[in-house]
Structure 1
Amino acid sequence: MHGTGTIYKRCGCRDPLTGRQRGSACPGLKRRGHGSWYLALPQPATAAHRATRLRRGGYPTRAVAAHALARLRDPELVSSGALMSCAQWLGHWYATVEPHLRASTARGYRKHLQQYLVPLLGRELLCELTHDRVQQAFDMIVRQHRDSGRPISGNTLRRIQATLRAALNAAIRRGMLTANPARYLDLPRTPRPHPVVWTDARVAEWLRTGQRPAVAVWTPVQTATFLARISDHRLYALYHLYALRGLRRGEGAGLRWYDIDFTARTLTITRQLQQRERGRLEVCPPKTAAGERTIALDSGTIHILVIHRNQQRLEKIAAGELWNESEYVFTDRYGRPLRPDHIGHTFQTLVRASGLPPVRLHDLRHGAASLALTGGCDLKVIQAQLGHSTIVTTADTYTSVLPQTAHAGAEDTARVIIDAARRISRSIRQQPKRRHRRTKPRSAAHAVTRTPVAA
């Protein structure tokens, strides 16, 4: 192997006796058109990677392979690091940005890299990555999910694209690329799922087919039924807060006792608890600036939190020296904060045991917004309660019109028309009646006979 690289020809023919590929030893390589041209270029060791050989192949002629080798030996290309494979660059980029990411963002990036981007694009050289090659990779993602019977949504594809774009933008800033090949991809569009209510008809359809909406909301009766059936659970107060006040999962996990003002009946959200790899917990600020908020609590919720605090004190006595003084409102039996994943898994277990139609933990947030709307709350109040940056998100995504609200609206609309019709009828009855004079019919003698005019 020469230090400046080499070019060779090989094919995929197999030896009939051993079954191994003949490669460069195939006697048919002397024939024109048999096999392809390849190149090999040694890569020196770096602090992050050991010495390797860069191999590329499939070139139709020796001249094309020689041109590719000359390009890969370009000093500027070598010095910029663009000869790095996509797998190497994506790994390096993630290790660089991971300490500065929210736990949920880091988890999403890691899933996109491991499940999609590295398997489909990892062998490509960074300097050879093109828009067409990236488009082919995303088309493959769509086909794989469709063939497995689990179609991937357009929103998920765009999140994967956003991860790749962020990594390649970092490569552009370092001079390794001049343009981002992950831009302007042709991705399928899917409408944003809108929460639908578990009406009796939808529940019957779910029981018959097993199909459920992407985002589903319980009715007030279903929500009350769920809370009644888990009233003896040690985390009842947590799921009560999720269902009635619409906290995010990490916000509920991160609550501390001094965030609750029992006298003023308020709850203050200043942070959330998120989970990184290997279950490590991390305290993060709320999702948005509007997420830092103070939420009003009703007297019933305050009473439930008082009961929960007394129960936690009993658990502290039972744990003895094993108790961890963490100041968290919701903990395990030894005072340790709860992992958000544990909260979600426990919720799904309770939903299945309740016999109610399925919802996600985050769907309780949608349901809390719809309950507040049904209770007569203004959209601006609901926006502040949920911690949304804009009222558009509250109105378009999180509020569903519950059946009783829709019926009340229909009755109110009809009442407007009925009242207007009554006013019109009343005004007609109150108008004075006109007296019409009867005119006597003319006699035949007074009738005027028209004589036809001759043409």
Structure 2
Amino acid sequence: MIDKVGGQPDGVYRRCGCKDPATGRRWGSRCPRLADPDHGTWYFAVQATDPRGHRIRLRRGGYDSPAAAQAARNAVADHDLHERFGEVATVRDWLYSWLADIEGTVRPTTWQAYRSHVVEYLSPGIGRIPLQELTTGEIQHLFDGLGKRVNRYADPLAPATLQRIRATLRRSLNIAVREQVLRWNPVLGLVLPGGRRSRPTVWSRNRVDAWRLDGWRPVVGVWTVDQLAGFLDGVEDDPLYGLWHLAALTGLRRGELLGLKWIDVDLDSRELTVCRQRTEITGQIIDSLPKTDAGVRTIALDRDTSQALECHRLSDWSSPAADGFVFCWPDGRPLRPDWLTHRFAELLKQLKLPPIRLHDLRHGAATLALSAGADVRVVQEMLGHTNYAFTADTYVSVLSAQSRAAVDGAAEAVRAKRARPHRAITNTVHDRGGRLGG
């Protein structure tokens, strides 16, 4: 039987994330807007037993209704931590339990990334340690070792990868702190090497020579216009030519390309709308919304890309239905994202082009647009970036070249209007030389 307190089940309450403008602190359950029944979310608090037999108070939230919060509270009360993990909970126990708890509450791709970090790095490294004995030193030792590991290209794990693994561990242990299983989060004392974001590097002639000589390659490679044209010429007879052309000119992500339906494409108006992406999670193809609100966007198409899509629509590698997918197998099965990546790599080997990743076509599309004079905000919207500064910072080398071109153009315009610009410049140089040379 459920006890009622204030008309709600015992141990269940509502709160929000609003802040007091005077203090900057969260109102919590004291927010005046909680008089609105649609404001805030539901939480529960319950006494449970930790792995060492001590009674602790657990708090969890984010539920849509008091009934949902009460159901979750009952589940925790029925299966306390001692029963859940056995005599001593290890870090591995906690991480896998945390993954099970959050599955379905975060984006499938986010959950898959968390699981990958747990399976590949965290569980093998610190999984055997009792959760309540985990220290910052042991975590530091793990990450120092990860910093020396190499990926499939024989390159060390990037600082950004280490940061993401740390974020996964930090988030999981934050829950342990919130539920009073841990007193504090030992990840907070972890020190990682700083790393700069890898910016696009154009495959110039000397870089191509270095690649052919000893296999050197940039982290993020971008083709020149000639190299991109050579790629499109080389894949013109490929059944997925429309996809390669679309990716190269618009910068759509892999999942966005595979999630595109014909109802999202208006070839008469030469535009398409990105509103879903297809990803593969544990062997299953899943359709979901783009990662951010900015990812839902409408993109203008040039005439060549529109014609490429029009031709593709008549091919076997496209669904004939109005609500069918633009790119799929001839029998209608979805293309797997990893297969598309491997297919792209095979084509590059056949064409003997400088290597880039499939995702680097996205960087190439942005670089091409900026070099052609497109405004940064236009490119930001085309790529679906949330932040203007992120787009400008990522393509700073292209923008620098644009700035130099703009300065030279302005100077040329002024020079053209002067009566005798060359004589004036020459005299100035001679005057300076005379003064400096004595």
Counterpart CA distance in 2 for 1:249 and 1:425 is 53
Note if contact 2:262-2:322 (Cα within 8 Å) is conserved in structure 1.
no
Seq. identity, %: 42
- The structure that has the greater radius of gyration is 1
Partner amino acid, structure 1, of 2:198: P
1:295 maps to which residue? 299
Give the letter for the 2:390 counterpart. Answer: T
CA distance in 1, matches of 2:81, 2:92: 17
1:354 is aligned, of 343, 351, 356, to: 351
Q: 1:218, 1:407 → 2: CA distance?
A: 21
Amino acid at match of 1:355: K
TM-score, scaled to structure 1:
0.70
Map 1:34-433 → 2, pairs under 5 A: 75-76=54-55, 81=82, 83-145=88-150, 150-278=155-283, 280-312=284-316, 327-398=324-395, 400-401=397-398, 408=405, 412=409, 415=412, 418-419=415-416
CA-to-partner distance for each residue in 1:193-227, whole Å, 9 max, x for gaps?
A: 11110010110011111010000100111101101
Partner SS, residue 179 of structure 1: coil
Asked whether the equivalents of residues 369 and 399 of structure 1 are also in contact (C-alpha less than 8 Å), the reply is: no
Which residue is 2:69 aligned to? none
Give 3-state SS (helix, strand or coil) of 1:275's partner: strand
Report the secondary structure of 2:325's partner residue: coil
Larger relative contact order (CA 8 Å, sep ≥ 6):
1
Deviations 1:62-112 (A, max 9, x none): xxxxxxxxx985533796559311111111111222333333323322221
| Cα pair distance change 1:417/1:135, threshold 3 Å | farther
Normalising by structure 2, we get a TM-score of 0.73
CA distance in 1, matches of 2:395, 2:422: 43
Q: Deviations over 1:147-177 (max 9, x none)?
A: x963222111110000101111121222211
Cα distance between partner residues in 1 of 2:216 and 2:199: 16
Q: Secondary structure at the match of 2:327?
A: coil
Aligned-partner residue type, residue 161 of structure 2: T
CA distance in 2, matches of 1:400, 1:331: 36
C-alpha contact (below 8 Å) 2:392/2:399 kept by paired residues: no
Aligned mates of 2:115, 2:389 — CA distance in 1 = 31
| Counterparts of 1:92 and 1:110, CA distance in 2 | 11
More divergent stretch after superposition (158-167 vs 390-399): 390-399
Counterparts in 2 of 1:226 and 1:178: CA distance versus 1, 3 Å: same
Q: Is the 8 A contact 2:319 2:325 kept in 1?
A: no
Gaps of 5+ in 2: 1-49, 58-79, 426-438
Aligned partner of residue 357 in structure 2, secondary structure: coil
Partners of 2:364 and 2:397 lie apart in 1 by: 8
- Counterpart amino acid of 1:401? V
- Which shifted more, 164-173 or 353-362? 164-173
Q: Deviations over 1:319-341 (max 9, x none)?
A: xxxxx997000001101221111
Contact 1:367/1:399 (CA < 8 Å) preserved in 2? no
Secondary structure of the structure 2 residue equivalent to 1:370: helix
The CA deviation at 1:184 is 3.2
Residue type of the partner of 1:130?
T
After superposition, the Cα gap between the structure-2 partners of 1:356 and 1:408, relative to the gap in structure 1 and judged at 3 Å, is: farther
What is the aligned length?
350
CA distance in structure 2 between the partners assigned to 1:336 and 1:316 by the alignment = 10
Cα RMSD (Å) of the superposition? 3.1
For residues 46-70 of structure 1, what are the alpha-carbon distances to aligned partners after superposition, in whole Å with 9 as ceiling and x for unaligned?
xxxxxxxxxxxxxxxxxxxxxxxxx
- Of the structure 1 ranges 395-404 and 173-182, higher mean CA displacement relative to structure 2 is found in 395-404
- Provide the rounded CA distance (Å) in 2 between the counterparts of 1:223 and 1:403: 22
Residue identity matched to 1:415: E
Give, in whole Å, the separation in 2 of the partners of 1:306 and 1:426.
57
Q: Where does the alignment leave 5 or more consecutive residues of structure 1 unmatched?
A: 1-70, 318-323, 429-455
- SS, match of residue 223 in structure 1: helix
- Structure 2 CA distance for partners of 1:145 and 1:426, relative to 1, 3 Å: closer
